[in-house]
A and B are shown apart, each in its own frame.
Chain A
Amino acid sequence: MAVETLIPASGGRQPPVPVPDPGADGPRSPDRAADPWYVRYALVGLTLLIVGGLVGLPLVAVFHHALANGLGAYWHNLTADPDTRHAVFLTLMVAPVAVGLNVIFGIAAAWVIARFRFPGRTILTTLIDLPFSVSPVVAGLVFVLLFSPTGPLGGWLRDNGFQVLFAPPGLVLATAFVTFPFVARELIPVLEAIGPEEELAARSLGASGWELFWRITLPNMKWGLLYGVILCNARAMGEFGAVYVVSGRIGGRTDTMPLRVEKLFQEYNTPAAFGLASVLTLLALVTLVAKVLIEPRLREKPPPSVGEP
């Protein structure tokens, strides 16, 4: 497959997920608003209707239904059920591990792709994006096939006492798969924009690889890294399809928060489902606020190089 011809050589392909928002600084020039007033009013009204109906109304509905029976009932729904408590605990365990794995990978991949030229670099960049095009259900399925007790690897692991499927390791793997590209694709353009000059200078002054990373590369890319971690974490905590398939849906054992929401919904326990959903919604809103706060820092000019006058 001639994928390498399909993407630009820079390796910094525009991410479809977090695009820096060019509209945030306001309309560019006043005369651009010279459309007739009725066009303006109609389009603004339509936009408010679209975003309000598609996004605003569901957000309001989540909190309305969660809090419909008062704060006491809300708190009871969240904390009284041991299966719900375990789901919160499991999500808080699984997501950070998956994010951590992808951070280590993202840093390694970004360093190699942004700083060096080598054969297969373009293909590597394309392959990193691959998980975004795979259905979450398929992402879960591949791990079921790999680790099912009837498969070669799963059989061997079972004989040696390792349970991957229907257990936290499977949840971590499926989550790591669906959130795979987030950190790497944020860091590659950030590292490319900073350029290697400072690192080369430090190297020529005798810095070790370790010093280079902790004192120059990491501080320079910290906002990009934080941005990637936040997006990766939001997806990791909210992932449904992939973990649904590998979890085996064992209540109190392998249900994460989103899976628990679905189970409560199936049990017609709608208030509890919305209660837990409201926690996930809050997480999403916090993520978006953090995103809005970090984005301006990503567009800041990189700090001046060491050797500049």
Chain B
Amino acid sequence: MTGVSRRALPGFGLGLGYTVFYLSAVVLIPLAACAWKAASLSPAEFVAAAWSDRARAAYTLSLWTAAAAAAINVALGLVVAWTLVRYEFPFRRLVDALVDVPLALPTAVAGLVYASLYAPNGWVGQYLEPLGIKVAYTEYGIVLVLVFTGFPFVVRTVQPVLADLDAEMEEAAAVLGADRWQAFRRVLLPTLIPPALTGFALAFARGLGEYGSVIFISSNMPYRTEIAAVLIVSRLEEYAYAEAAAIAVVLLAMSFALLAVINLLERWTQRHGG
């Protein structure tokens, strides 16, 4: 696909001008304002704001809960994608459609309903309580809602690759005397790793910034169950704008690093997937 000459079709100047204008007004200038505000701090103040004990505890919690949720989603996503692609069973289309619910359901609704399900008197929480398992208001609750919000990513990255996978490749492996396990390990697994990693990174990135669902189910206690996004909001509510901007810059740096990784992984997936 090649572009056409700028004289053959109209609207290049107007379209590009408006695109750049709107992108700058809505995204780039506001983001620059955040960096500018953080830069108004001296280096020592920046470190004090962005690297305090409380901030470090918040990054650590955000990072590990998002990573744990993404890892759980790789396991769940591989099972669900495999089943949806390879087997016929009742309500398969419905199950397939339900996978997208976390993308469409407002995060506040997810937080509300998960907090109520897993509260000590909730539908699920009442059975966990006697076992000594506390989910609501703990870091496990955070992992749980992040599993929900990130659930579609691994399924939707692995599904097309599994569907495109050459059945002949598996058959050939079988003809050549590979048993099921060898065929799985040598043929399937290498193909599934790139999309699974992409799904992991997407779910991880989503979880790192998540706010709406988490505040319902977490007790949001500083040092204990306070994620980075919640810390930014508390700084804002104290009118400590520059400190909030400093923490946001750290969070943005993590997100953009992940974005670069996701782009690399997607190229890798495309190369593997053919």
Contacting pair B260 A116 (CB below 8 A): no
User: B9, A62: Cβ atoms under 8 Å?
Assistant: no
Q: Do residues B33 and A51 form an inter-chain contact, with CB atoms below 8 A?
A: no
* Distance between Cα atoms of A111 and B164 in the complex (Å): 30
* A93 contacts the other chain (CB 8 A): no
List of A residues within 8 angstroms of B228 by Cβ: 135
Contact across chains for B8 and A203 when beta carbons are under 8 A apart: yes
Given contacts A50-B76, A133-B256, A265-B112, 7 further A-B contacts (CB under 8 A): A55-B102, A56-B98, A57-B117, A115-B12, A137-B209, A280-B108, A291-B100
Among B47-55, B84-92, B126-134, the stretch in contact with A? B84-92
**Contact pick for A111, options B6, B15, B153, B264, CB 8 Å:** B15
A51 in complex: contacting residue of B80, B164, B215, CB < 8 Å: B80
Complex-state Cα separation, A43 to B87, whole angstroms: 9
Complex formed: what's the CA distance from A279 to B147 in Å?
A: 23
Q: Is the CB of B212 within 8 A of A241?
A: yes
> Is the C-beta of A94 less than 8 angstroms from some C-beta in chain B?
no
B212→A130 contact, CB < 8 A: no
A sample of 26 cross-chain residue pairs with beta-carbon separation below 8 angstroms, ordered by A number, consists of A10-B1, A13-B266, A14-B266, A32-B86, A47-B95, A55-B98, A55-B148, A108-B22, A112-B16, A136-B229, A138-B229, A141-B245, A144-B236, A150-B241, A173-B30, A176-B26, A177-B26, A209-B10, A238-B104, A240-B106, A241-B210, A245-B236, A258-B106, A258-B212, A274-B113, A291-B100
Given A105-B22, A135-B209, A262-B108, decide whether A33 and B87 contact each other with a Cβ distance below 8 A. yes
Across the interface, name the chain A residue whose C-beta is closest to B257: A133
Chain B neighbourhood of A212, CB < 8 A:
9-10
Among A13, A28, A126, A135, contact of B211 (Cβ-Cβ < 8 Å):
A135
Q: Tell me the count of chain A residues lying within 8 A, CB to CB, of chain B.
A: 116
User: Given that A50-B80, A200-B8 are known contacts, is A281 also in contact with B159, CB under 8 Å in the complex?
Assistant: no
Is B192 part of the binding interface, using a Cβ–Cβ cutoff of 8 Å?
A: no
Chain A residues in 8 Å Cβ range of B89: 44
Q: Interface size bucket, B side?
A: 35 or more
Residues of chain A within 8 A (CB-CB) of B92 are 23, 26
B248 to chain A: closest residue by CB = A138
Contact flag A27-B241 (CB < 8 Å), given A203-B9, A273-B112: no
Q: Do A277 and B109 touch across chains, with their CB atoms under 8 A apart? A: yes
Q: Which residue of B lies closest to A16 (CB)?
A: B202
Nearest residue (CB) in B for A138 is B248
Contacts A51-B99, A109-B19, A142-B31 given; does A31 touch B167 at CB 8 Å: yes
Tell yes or no: A284 within 8 A of B by CB. yes
B binding-site residues for A, Cβ under 8 Å:
1-4, 6, 8-12, 14-16, 18-20, 22-23, 26-31, 33-34, 37, 76, 79-80, 82-89, 91-93, 95-117, 123-124, 147-148, 151, 153, 156-157, 159-160, 163-164, 167, 202, 205, 208-212, 215-216, 228-229, 232-233, 236, 241, 244-245, 248, 251-252, 255-256, 258-260, 262-264, 266-267, 270
Least CB distance from A207 to B in Å reads 9
- Minimal Cβ-Cβ distance residue in B for A62: B113
Contacting B99 at CB < 8 Å: which of A55, A116, A173? Answer: A55
| Interface secondary structure of A, over-half rule | helix
Whether A265 contacts B8 by the Cβ 8 Å rule is no
CB–CB A280/B27 < 8 A: no
- The answer to whether A277 and B108 have CB atoms under 8 Å apart is yes
**Chain A: minimal CB distance from B196 (Å):** 14
Interface residue ranges of A199-236 to B (CB < 8 Å) = 199-200, 203, 208-209, 212-213, 231, 234
**Also in contact, A65 and B116, with CB within 8 A (given A142-B31, A258-B106, A262-B216):** yes
**CB closest chain-B residue, reference A29:** B167
A192 to B2 Cα, complex, angstroms: 9
Bound-state Cα–Cα, A208 to B9, Å = 10
Instruction: Please determine whether B99 and A241 come into contact, CB atoms closer than 8 angstroms.
Output: no
Contacts of A166 in B (CB 8 A): none
Chain B residue numbers with a CB within 8 Å of A104 are 18, 22
Inter-chain contacts of A296 with B (CB < 8 A):
none
Q: Does A80 contact B (CB under 8 A)?
A: no
Residues of B contacting A26 in the complex (Cβ-Cβ under 8 angstroms): 88, 92
Task: Please tell me if A78 contacts chain B, counting CB pairs below 8 Å.
Answer: no
Q: A179 → chain B, closest Cβ, in Å?
A: 10
Among B84, B91, B104, B208, which residue has its beta carbon within 8 angstroms of that of A135?
A: B208
Q: Which residues of B contact A40 (CB under 8 A)?
A: 87
- Is there contact, CB below 8 Å, between B258 and A133? yes
Task: Decide yes or no whether A300 CB sits under 8 A from chain B.
Answer: no
A250 at the interface (CB under 8 A from B): no
In the complex with contacts A35-B86, A58-B117, A209-B11, A258-B109 CB distance below 8 A:
yes
Contacts A17-B103, A142-B34; A136 near B211 (Cβ below 8 A)? yes
In the bound complex, what is the Cα–Cα distance between A129 and B260 (angstroms)? Answer: 12
B36 to chain A, nearest CB (A): 8
Contacts of B4 in A (CB 8 A): 115-116, 196, 200
**How far is A117 from B1 in the complex, measured between Cα atoms in Å?**
10
Residues of A within 8 A of B108 (CB): 238, 240, 258-259, 261-262, 277, 280
Per a CB cutoff under 8 Å, which of B114, B245, B252 touches A134? B252
Selected interface stretch from A1-9, A69-77, A155-163, A301-309: A1-9
